[in-house]
Amino acid sequence: MHELQVTEQILEIALKHVEGQDVSRIVNIHLRIGDLTDLEGEWIQHYFDYLSKGTLAENAKLEIEQVPIVLACEDCGAHFKVTKHELGEAKCPECQDDEPNFRMISGREYTVMNLEVV
């Protein structure tokens, strides 16, 4: 996934949010970004500064919260965290199933949580 595309979407979501409202500026955008996305906060801010020029979100500061990768075991229902490197060979800590079925609970998302406006 490319940072530039994601940043465009984040900006779009933020601007849509304040559309038609009495807002003079977006000052802060709180984001949650999954560890699996490979998105670098520094780059997102960099692209954001560039893309948001001339919009209500110009100079807004991005506050990025990293979200860990969490898997759910379909066999026993346990939830547990893994790192990106462990993902391929993840084993359920509860049932130790050799052929596990996992569902990803979090780690892939990038979500706009909150906007601070003036």
Contacts to Zn ion by CB under 5 A: 73, 75-76, 78, 92, 94-95
CB of 103 to Zn ion, least distance (A): 11
- In this complex, which beta carbon is closest to Zn ion, that of residue 45 or of residue 106? 106
CB of 87 to Zn ion, least distance (A): 16
From edge to edge, which strands make up the β-sheet containing 61-67?
A: 61-67, 26-34, 110-117
Nearest to 67 by CA among 103, 113, 35: 35
**Residue for token digits 């304040």?**
18
- In this complex, which beta carbon is closest to Zn ion, that of residue 19 or of residue 99? 99
